[in-house]
Amino acid sequence: MKIKVDEISSVIAEEIQQYRSEVDVAEVGKVLEVGDGIARVYGLKNAMALERVDFQNGASGQVFNLEENSVGVVILGDYLGIKEGDEVRRSGELLSVPCGDAMVGRVVDPLGRPLDGKGAIETPHRRPLEFKAPGIAERQPVNQPLQTGLKAIDSMIPIGRGQRELIIGDRKTGKTAIALDTIVNQKGGDVICIYVAVGQKESTVAGVVDKLTETGAMDYTIVVSASASEPAPLQYIAPYAGAAMAEYFMYQDGRATVCIYDDLSKQAHAYRQLSLLLRRPPGREAYPGDVFYLHSRLLERSVKLRDEYAVVPKETPEDCVDRNVAHKHPEGLKAPKEHRPDDIHGLYHRPGGFDRGTAWLESLPDKDRYRLHRFPDSGGSLTALPIIETLEGEVAAYIPTNVISITDGQIYLEPDLFFAGVRPAVNVGISVSRVGGNAQRKAMKKIAGSLRLDLAAFRELEAFAQLGTDLDVATQRQLDRGRRIVELLKQPQYQPYNVNDQVISIFAGTKGYLDDLAENRVLEFETALLQHVRERHAEVLKELDEKDALTDDLAEKITKIVEEFKVSFTGSENTE
Amino acid sequence: MPSVSDKEITVARVYSNAMLRLAEAKGEADSLFEEMDQLVSLLDAHEDLDGFLASPMIDPEVRKVSLEKLFRGKASDLLVDSLQILNEKERLDLIRAVAQTYRLDHAEMRGWVDAHVRTAVPLSDGLRTQLEEVVSKRTGRRGRLEEAVDESLLGGVVVQIGDEKLDASVTTKLQRLGELLSERGSREVYSGKDYVEAGE
C-alpha cells in the first residue's frame, strides 16, 4: 500500500489557495452558568427568541428566555463540554434541518446529522424547524384515504391524508406496531414516511430500522431519532424536525407524507424538564403553561393542501409551477358561477375547481390552444400519527386529554384485548376517526357500516352471555357473528392487507359466511378465500379498483364467489 | 468578566446612579471612576478584604469603624461616604456590581465606549491611536481601550466592543483553515476517490 502524497497535497494546496481570511465579526456573549442542558449567557443583547447560537465547543443552542441582562439557552448537544466563561455566538438564524431526497432512507438526529454510519448527507435544501401551519385558503378537506393495511382500522377508523389520528394506549399494547404497519403498507405507493422516535431506547430504534430495512420500507422512509440518552432539548425538537423534513416533500413536490411521532408524552416530559430548568412556572402535573401549544402547533402543521388548476397555453410544460402562466378568466371573480375561478390569479382550487376549470376551457372559442394544468407542487399532504402512552389506561391525564382534543380522532389500544389475543388490540367502541369517513373508499364504506353494527350488538350481548343464561336463537346468532368478526379483524404484524382484499374478507364476515365455521378456522378460511380470489377471480379485484364502489352487480359476483368457495372449503374439511 | 446576576444589577444601579450624579455635580465623576476601578482590583488582590466587606457575619457598626480607618483620607470623601452608605444598608456585597454599573453609566454619559483589545504583543502608541480611530469610526463614539496581552493569539488583534467581537487573530484564522481542511477531507473520503495505491 502506498499513499498518493502528491494528490493529497495538491488538494490541500488548492484549499489553502481558495482560503480568504477576513476579519471575523460576531456578536458574542459569555456563559454565566451551565448545567442539565441549559446555559445562562451574559450579553447577546440583540439575540432573538428561538434563534440559534453556537458554543465554543461546537454545540448549538436555542435562545429560550430573554431576560434583562442575560439569555437562557437550551443546549442541543454535548453540554458537558461547555464551561463558565465560554464564548457563545449569535448566528442570526433560526434552527433548521437539511431536507430533500438525500434524506430518504437515512437515520438522522433532530438536527439532521446522520446516525447510520452511511456518511455525510449532501443536500442543498434546508427548512426551518418551526414553520407556521398553512391557513384556511391553502387547505382542502381530507378526501383521500391513507391505507394503513390493517382491517380493523381501514374499515372502522379510516384515516385520510392530511388527518391527525392519535394512537393511544398503555405500554406494550402495540402502538408502534400500528405505526410501522402503516409505513410498511405504503410500499409501492407515493407516500414518504417519517418516523420520529423520541426518548426511546436505542435498541428499540435499531430494531425498528432493521425491520423497516428488511421489509424494504426504508426506501421511502426517514427515521429521526432522539433517544433517551440525548439531552432533553434534542428530544423536544425532534418532532418539529420530522415535520420540517416532511413539509419539504409536501410543499416542493406536492407529495403525500406521513409523520409518526413516537411518542409525544416523552416529548412533553422533555419539554417539562427544560422549562423547569429555565425556571418557567410549573402548572398542572408540573407541565409549563404552554404545553398545549407545544402539541397544537406541531399537529396543526398536518394538512391536505389544495389542488390548484389553471387554464394554461397548450405548450406549458407539465412540471410548470409558475402561477403567472394561468390564462385568466376575463371576468375574474364576476364570471358565471360554473366558470368562476377561485382567486384573482385565475386559479381553480376550491372543491369542484377541476370541473369549473374544465367547463370554462370547453366554452373557450380557441380551446385547442389551451389545456387545464394541475400545478404539480399543489395537493400535497402531511398526515400525522402522534402516539401517546397512557399509564394504567388513564386517558384523563393532562397530556392525553390535550392531544385527544387536538387530533381528528384516536385509535385506542387496550392491554386486556392485547392479552386476549386480539391484535391489533383496538377498542373499536371508543376509537373514532372524525374526518376519515369522507376519505374512505366507497366499497369499504358500504360494508363497514354493518361491521360496526354487528360489533356494537356483540359487545352489548357479550356481558349477558357470560352469565351463562340460556339464550334464544337470535341472540346466539348475534354472538356467533360477533366472535367471528373479532376473529376476522385479528391480523399479524407486518402483513398489511390490500384494500380490495380487506373488502372481500369483511364482506364475507358481515354477510354471515363465517358464522358456521369454527372460530379458530376463520383466519385460515380468510387466507384461503383471498388466495382463491387472487388466483381465479382477479377480474373482481380489478373491477373493485376501477369502480371504487361496491355496486349491486359486483356484490352479487362476490357473493357467488364466496359461496362457491365455501362449499369447496367445508367440503374438503368433511372429506378429511 | 461579569458574574453578577440581573437582580444584583438592578439594585446596584440605584446606588451607582446616585454616586454618579453626585460626582458629576462635584466634577469628580472621572476620578471616581478610576478610584472604583482601583477598588475592584484591590478586592481582586485581597480576598480577605472582599470577604470582610461581603460577610453578613460582621456587625455593620464594627465595619463602619474599619472602613473609616482603611479609606478615609486615602480615597475621595465621596467614595468613602458611599461605602459607608452601602455598609449601613448592608449592601456592601454588591460593591462589584456597583462598580460595573457605574462604569457602564459613566461611559454612557460621556459618550464613550469600552473596547477590550487583545494582542499578542503590547500595543505601540501608533497602533493605539489607529485602533481608537477604528473603534470610534465603527461606533460613532470615543473608544476607551482596555488592553491585554495574550500570547496565545500568535498575532493579529481581537477587539470586543460590547457584545460585538472583531476577531483578526492568527489563531482564529488557522483554526478556520483547519476546519476547512477537515471538511474537505471528509468530502474527499465520501467521494470514494482512492488516495491509496495498492501494491508494494
Q: How far is B85 from chain A (nearest CA, A)?
A: 26
- Alpha-carbon distance B145 to B116, whole Å? 6
Q: What is the pLDDT of residue B2?
A: 45
Report H helices in A315-441. Answer: 353-363, 398-406, 415-419
- DSSP state, residue A270: H
Nearest residue in A to B173, CA atom: A21
Fold of the domain spanning B6-108 = Peroxidase; domain 1 (1.10.520)
- Partners of B3 on chain A (C-beta within 8 Å) are 32
Q: What is the pLDDT of residue A94?
A: 94
Fold of the domain spanning B111-191 = Glutaredoxin (3.40.30)
Q: Tell me the backbone φ, ψ of residue A103, rounded to 5 degrees.
A: -80, -25
C-beta neighbour count of A562 within 10 angstroms:
22
pLDDT digits (tens, 9 = 90+) for A128-150: 999 999 999 999 999 999 999 99
Q: What is the pLDDT of residue A461?
A: 86
Q: How far is B75 from chain A (nearest CA, A)?
A: 31
Nearest residue in A to B196, CA atom: A3
Give me the residues paired with residue A503 across strands.
none
pLDDT at B3 exceeding the cut of 90: no
Q: How far is B129 from chain A (nearest CA, A)?
A: 19
Q: What is the pLDDT of residue A474?
A: 87
Nearest residue in B to A33, CA atom: B3
Contacts of A68 (CB under 8 A, 6+ apart): B6, B9, B10
Q: How far is B74 from chain A (nearest CA, A)?
A: 34
pLDDT at A9 exceeding the cut of 80: yes
Query: A24 and B167 in contact by Cβ < 8 A?
Result: yes
Nearest alpha-carbon partner for A55 in A26, A96, A97:
A26
- Chain mean position to CA B34: 13
B25 Cβ under 8 Å from any chain A Cβ:
no
A85 Cβ under 8 Å from any chain B Cβ:
yes
Give me A6's grid cell: 502528491
Beta strands in A287-408 (DSSP E): 303-304, 309-313, 370-374, 381-389
Nearest residue in A to B176, CA atom: A21
Q: Report chain B's mean pLDDT, rounded to a whole number.
A: 87
Mean pLDDT of A81-95: 93
Q: What is the pLDDT of residue A573?
A: 60
Query: B196 and A1 in contact by Cβ < 8 A?
Result: yes
Amino acid at site B193: K
Nearest residue in B to A69, CA atom: B6
Q: What is the pLDDT of residue A406?
A: 97
pLDDT digits (tens, 9 = 90+) for A344-376: 999 999 988 999 999 999 999 998 999 999 999
- Alpha-carbon distance A158 to A432, whole Å? 9
Helix axes A291-299, A398-406, angle to 10 degrees: 30
- So where are chain B's domains? 6-108, 111-191
Query: A19 and B160 in contact by Cβ < 8 A?
Result: no
- Alpha-carbon distance A107 to A283, whole Å? 35
Mean pLDDT of B125-136: 89
From chain A residues 90-119, the ones with a CB under 8 A of any chain B CB are: 119
Query: B176 and A27 in contact by Cβ < 8 A?
Result: no
- Partners of B168 on chain A (C-beta within 8 Å) are 23-24
Query: B181 and A15 in contact by Cβ < 8 A?
Result: yes
- Residues A427, A412: contact at Cβ < 8 Å? yes
Q: What is the pLDDT of residue B199?
A: 59
- Residues A135, A155: contact at Cβ < 8 Å? no
- DSSP state, residue A164: B
Using CB atoms within 10 Å of the CB of residue B135, give its burial: 0 to 12 exposed, 13 to 18 middle, 19+ buried.
buried
Q: Catalytic positions of A, please?
A: 434
- Chain mean position to CA A183: 9
pLDDT at B1 exceeding the cut of 50: no
Q: pLDDT category, A456, cuts 50, 70, 90?
A: confident
> What long-range pairs does A212-215 form, CB within 8 A, spacing at least 24?
A212/A180, A212/A183, A212/A184, A215/A184, A215/A187, A215/A494
Select from B3, B163, B173 the Cβ nearest to the Cβ of A21: B173
Q: What is the pLDDT of residue A549?
A: 85
Query: A25 and B164 in contact by Cβ < 8 A?
Result: yes
Q: Largest Cα–Cα distance in chain A?
A: 94
- Alpha-carbon distance A295 to A297, whole Å? 6
Q: pLDDT category, A405, cuts 50, 70, 90?
A: very high
Q: What is the pLDDT of residue A576?
A: 45
Query: B195 and A8 in contact by Cβ < 8 A?
Result: yes
Q: How far is A120 from chain B (nearest CA, A)?
A: 7
Hey, is B175 helix, strand or coil?
Answer: helix
A27 Cβ under 8 Å from any chain B Cβ:
yes
Query: B176 and A12 in contact by Cβ < 8 A?
Result: no
Nearest residue in A to B167, CA atom: A24
Test the A interface: residue of B116, B164, B182, B189 with most A CBs within 10 Å: B164
- Partners of A42 on chain B (C-beta within 8 Å) are 1-2
- Alpha-carbon distance A321 to A380, whole Å? 14
pLDDT digits (tens, 9 = 90+) for A11-23: 888 888 888 777 8
Q: What is the pLDDT of residue B182?
A: 86
pLDDT at A489 exceeding the cut of 60: yes
Give me A389's grid cell: 402512552
* Most confident residue range from A67-76, A292-301, A343-352, B127-136: A292-301
B2 Cβ under 8 Å from any chain A Cβ:
yes
Q: Report chain A's mean pLDDT, rounded to a whole number.
A: 92
pLDDT at A240 exceeding the cut of 80: yes
Is the pTM higher than 0.80? yes
- Residues A484, A517: contact at Cβ < 8 Å? yes
Could you tell me what percent of chain B has a pLDDT over 90? 20
Query: A25 and B181 in contact by Cβ < 8 A?
Result: no
Q: What is the pLDDT of residue A574?
A: 56
Nearest residue in B to A4, CA atom: B195
Query: B162 and A67 in contact by Cβ < 8 A?
Result: no
pLDDT at A400 exceeding the cut of 70: yes
pLDDT at A200 exceeding the cut of 60: yes
Q: What is the pLDDT of residue A233?
A: 94
HSE-CB at A288 with a 13 A cutoff on CA atoms is: 20
- Alpha-carbon distance A124 to A269, whole Å? 34
A67 Cβ under 8 Å from any chain B Cβ:
yes
B76 Cβ under 8 Å from any chain A Cβ:
no
- Alpha-carbon distance A290 to B5, whole Å? 27
pLDDT at B145 exceeding the cut of 90: no
Query: B162 and A45 in contact by Cβ < 8 A?
Result: yes
Q: What is the pLDDT of residue A60?
A: 94
Mean pLDDT of A311-336: 91
- Partners of A88 on chain B (C-beta within 8 Å) are none
Select from B163, B172, B177 the Cβ nearest to the Cβ of A29: B163
Instruction: Compute the radius of gyration of chain A from its Cα atoms.
Output: 28
Nearest alpha-carbon partner for A30 in A82, A92, A94:
A82
Nearest alpha-carbon partner for A382 in A253, A185, A243, A221:
A243
pLDDT at B197 exceeding the cut of 80: no
* Most confident residue range from A236-245, A358-367, B171-180: A236-245
Residue whose C-alpha cell reads 450579553 in the numeric block? A43
- Chain mean position to CA A214: 21
